[in-house]
Chain A
């Protein structure tokens, strides 16, 4: 879903998720943030992506006054 149903998107999406996980680990080492923050962000972006697919169906048009 994060990949936007595109095979190449999978690469981008997995790099994103991996970055989140690694980043969360170093965050928790540095300033003791629980590393579950990574899952929270991944879940939030999943839901955001889901909503984005809906809005991608619409097109904004500017009416010339």
Chain B
């Protein structure tokens, strides 16, 4: 296999976009929370909860889009828990986030085992179909045709979130409580409400990111299916220096190396210029690169000034 063959094959780019979708949605979710000044480490668990809820609702006979909505709702519920703990109560955002992750993950595994006590092969659903009709579009058609509607939703969510954050009064208010909550309070805005709202909305996005795994990427729910994607999203937000457009870029770069790594694993024949290594080395590749990217990018990142600082009214 040659480099050119790989990079010109639409199957490869289909895989890249497919792997990037949950990362895009999840990263946007974390980004929204952090722009409002709250770190949300609950993402890993919220994605698992979204994956499970969305899949269960569809398995019980609801249409796929209802499944996505249910996943968003499940995400919002856990987001609300995190929001109540961190905003009005002002508790440690790290511990609360990790607690939410632990709780949401184990609750969804528990619920899965309760609903299906003894199955060895996971029950399946019919996931979102690929959009074959898009094949006719020149250049990007074949790549888009391999995607499900959820990928389009994710791609559309990037400019929408960027527009909301940068061009609307609500977005300005959210950025303000993330930068200087005291000033926002002085303008008559409710810091508590804005932060809770941002966390709930961001967590709903994370839930949708999780539901992509069960409703579009696979057709069943597995244990450990989120598999660290949530933590990658948290890292990608730093890489993106809290900008939606760069978040898309970061998710695509990570997914590119993830897809490359998959090819190297199954291909056997290494690409020219790459040494024959155990495939586990390539498995590390996307993560090593995200660490390197963080080292380079995080230095000049302009992070929200009030990130991880709980706001108490009237306190200096």
Instruction: Tell me whether B110 is interfacial, beta carbon within 8 Å.
Output: yes
Do A1 and B110 touch across chains, with their CB atoms under 8 A apart?
no
Interface residues of B in 64-105 (CB under 8 A from A): 81, 85, 89-92, 95-96, 98-100, 102-103, 105
Residues of B close to A42: CB separation below 8 A = 102, 106
Do B85 and A47 touch across chains, with their CB atoms under 8 A apart?
yes
Do A47 and B92 touch across chains, with their CB atoms under 8 A apart?
no
B39 CB to closest chain A CB, in angstroms? 15
- CB-contact partner of A47 in B103, B113, B114, B117, under 8 A: B103
Among B100, B103, B105, max chain A CB count under 10 A is at B103
Given the interface pairs A47-B85, A51-B85, the reply to whether A32 lies near B117 with Cβ below 8 Å is yes
Cβ-Cβ contact count across A and B, 8 Å cutoff: 54
Instruction: Tell me whether A18 is interfacial, beta carbon within 8 Å.
Output: no
Do B110 and A50 touch across chains, with their CB atoms under 8 A apart?
no
Do B114 and A43 touch across chains, with their CB atoms under 8 A apart?
no
- CB-contact partner of B91 in A34, A36, A50, under 8 A: A50
- CB-contact partner of A43 in B85, B90, B102, B113, under 8 A: B102
Given the interface pairs A34-B113, A34-B114, A37-B110, the reply to whether A50 lies near B96 with Cβ below 8 Å is yes
Do B95 and A34 touch across chains, with their CB atoms under 8 A apart?
no
Do B91 and A46 touch across chains, with their CB atoms under 8 A apart?
no
Size category of the A interface is 10 to 19
Do A36 and B102 touch across chains, with their CB atoms under 8 A apart?
no
Instruction: Tell me whether B217 is interfacial, beta carbon within 8 Å.
Output: no
Given the interface pairs A1-B95, A34-B109, A36-B113, the reply to whether A43 lies near B89 with Cβ below 8 Å is no
Residues of B close to A43: CB separation below 8 A = 99, 102-103, 106-107
- CB-contact partner of A50 in B99, B113, B114, under 8 A: B99
Q: Give complex CA distance A32, B118 in Å.
A: 10
Chain B residue nearest in CB terms to A44: B103
- CB-contact partner of B109 in A36, A44, A53, A54, under 8 A: A36
Q: Give complex CA distance A1, B99 in Å.
A: 10
Chain B residue nearest in CB terms to A40: B106
Residues of A close to B85: CB separation below 8 A = 47, 50-51
Instruction: Mark B residues whose CB is within 8 Å of A.
Output: 81, 85, 89-92, 95-96, 98-100, 102-103, 105-107, 109-110, 113-114, 117
Given A44-B103, A47-B96, A54-B90; 15 other pairs, CB 8 A cutoff: A34-B109, A34-B113, A34-B117, A37-B106, A39-B102, A39-B110, A42-B106, A43-B102, A46-B102, A47-B81, A47-B99, A47-B103, A50-B85, A50-B91, A50-B95
Instruction: Mark A residues whose CB is within 8 Å of B.
Output: 1, 32, 34, 36-40, 42-44, 46-47, 50-51, 53-54
